[in-house]
Structure 1
Amino acid sequence: MRIIRGRTGTRTVWGEVEGDTVHVTAGMRGERTGETVPFADVTLLAPAEGGKVVCVGRNYLDHIRELGNDKGDLPTEPGIFLKGANALAEPDGTVAYPDWTENFHYEGELALVIGTRARHLTPQNALAHVAGFTCANDLTARDRQKTDLQWFRAKAADRFCPLGPWLVPDLDPADLRVQTRVNGETRQDGRTSSMIFPVVDVLVYLTRFVTLEPGDVVLTGTPEGVGPVQPGDTVEVEVEGVGVLRTRIGPVA
C-alpha cells in the first residue's frame, strides 16, 4: 500500500493508493471516507506535516570515512540533529540553490514518519509506531556545516528536506538498497544493513529522551558518495520497496 498526502483542487488530502485511484482518508492513518480521486489529479506533497524532523548523522562507516571523521573511535550512540517543518519540500519539486553557500550537497536517505505517539520504545514494539517509510534528501550547505557553531543553517534552512513520494507501511527496514543519482548518474549505492545504528535502535534511543508525535519524521543517515549539486541538476533518491524522490536544483536565490 502507498499512503499519500497531496493537493486536489484547492484541498489537501491524505489517501491510500490502489492502482490509479486514491481512496481519501481521515488523516494520515485514518479510515477511508468513501471519497475517491483519480491519482492523476493529485499533486503530491511531502507525506508529513508539522512536527519535527529528527536526523541521524554519520550512521554509515564509509560515509564517516569519506568526510574524514574516522580518526577516532566509532560512535557509541547515534549523533542527532534537527530540522524543522520549514525544511520539508514536496516530491518532484524545485529547491533553489542558496546564495549563501558555495558547496551545496545531496544526501539520500531512508526516512520514516511516526504514526502513533512514541516514548520509551522497545526493540519489540518500535516499528509498530511507524506509519510508513519513505525517501529523503538531507540537503546540506557543507561549507556552512564546517564553519557554524551548530548545523541549523547548514541543514535546516527552508526546503532542505525533500521527502516522498509517499509512505509505505509494513516495510522491513533492515536491508534496503538506498541509491542517489544526479542527472541519471549513480552517486550513492548503499544498503541499510550497513548502518551502525539500525532503525529500531535509533527509535529506541530517541524515545528515551524525546517523545515522538504522529507526523514527526526520522532520517536515518546517508551512505557514502555524498557530493555537490549545481543549478540545473536533478537529484533522484531511490529506496528499495518505496520508490523515487526527485528534486530539481533551481537557480541561485
Structure 2
Amino acid sequence: MSDIFPLPAPPRLAIDGDSRTFPVSRIFCIGRNYADHAREMGATAEAIFFAKPASAITSATTLPYPTETNDLHHEVELVLALGEGGAIIASGTGVDLTKRDLQSDLKAKSAPWEIAKGFDASAPMGALRLGPPPANGSISLSVNGAMRQSGELEQMILPPQELLGQLGRYFVLKPGDLVFTGTPSGVGALEPCDTVAARIDGLPPLDFTLTERR
C-alpha cells in the first residue's frame, strides 16, 4: 500500500556547534507562566496550554508580515526541545507571534483562537543548544534597538520540569516536541519592517525582520 502523495519533510532547527539538526514534530505552548505578563493581559496567573502546528516554526531572518491582522504582538520565550522519553535534550530562544486583535475578537465570542496563534511562521526560532536549559538568567526582546521585554527565567511560575509534568498529564511527550515556556511582561505590537532581537542568557540569539504588508 502506498500514499497518494508524499508528505513534506518536517521543519528542522539547527543545533549550535553540531552538524545534526532537530526535526520538529509538535509545538506545545504555555500561557500565563509569568505573573507580570498575566497581570498585563488582565488574567490570573494560571498556566494554560495550547498548540501550534509544526509549520509555525521558522529560522528565516526575514518574515512576512501576516495577513488578517492589524495588531501583531511579540512574546519572547525559552523553548525546550525534547528527545527520547520526553526528556529535555536542548533549548533555544523563540518568539510566539500573535494576531492579538483576532485573538481578542475570538475570546469575546468564547471561540477557539488557534487561528490567531497557529499561522505559518508564527514561531521564529534561533539555533538550539544541547544540554539542560538555563535555570536562571535574563530573557529579553528589543524592537529596532529599543527594549520591550525584560525579565528573568526564574520568574516562571512553572519551571521546565514542573511544566513538563503538567503537560504530560494530557499528552505523551515524544522526540521532536518543542515546548514554549511562556513570556514575561512587555508584549506589544510589531509594525511592518520592524527588526526584532530576542535574547536569553546562555543560548544562541534570535534576530529577524518583518517585511512590508502583502
Fold equivalence (TM over 0.5): yes
**Structure 1 residues 222 and 13: alpha-carbon distance in aligned structure 2, compared to 1, 3 A threshold:** closer
Shift of 1:116: 1.3
Deviation per CA, 1:10-42: give whole Å up to 9, x if none: xx896662xxxxx534xx4xxxxxxxxxxxxxx
Which residue is equivalent to 1:251?
212
1:110 aligned to 2:78?
A: yes
Q: Which runs of 5+ in 1 are unaligned?
A: 1-11, 18-22, 29-47, 119-128
Deviates more, 1:218-227 or 1:191-200: 191-200
Shift of 1:53: 0.4
Deviation per CA, 1:105-129: give whole Å up to 9, x if none: 11111001111132xxxxxxxxxx1
Alpha-carbon distance in structure 2 between the residues aligned to 1:190 and 1:83: 24
- TM-score, normalised on structure 1? 0.74
Between the aligned residues of both structures, percent identity stands at 35
RCO higher in structure (CA 8 A, sep ≥6): 2
Which residue is equivalent to 1:67?
41
Kept in 2, the 8 Å contact 1:173–1:199? The answer is no
Q: Give the RMSD, CA atoms, in angstroms.
A: 1.8
Kept in 1, the 8 Å contact 2:15–2:130? The answer is no
Shift of 1:188: 0.6
Which residue is equivalent to 2:88?
130
Alpha-carbon distance in structure 2 between the residues aligned to 1:89 and 1:161: 6
Q: Which amino acid aligns with 1:197?
A: L
Which residue is equivalent to 2:25?
51
Within a 5 Å distance, the mapping from 1:123-202 to structure 2 comes to 129-148=87-106, 149-164=111-126, 166-202=127-163
Kept in 2, the 8 Å contact 1:49–1:85? The answer is no
Deviation per CA, 1:75-129: give whole Å up to 9, x if none: 2xx20000010100115x22211231010011111001111132xxxxxxxxxx1
Match of 1:24 among 19, 25, 38: 19
Q: How many residues align?
A: 199
Report which of the two has the higher share of strand. 1
- TM-score, normalised on structure 2? 0.87
1:79 aligned to 2:40?
A: no
Alpha-carbon distance in structure 2 between the residues aligned to 1:112 and 1:15: 13
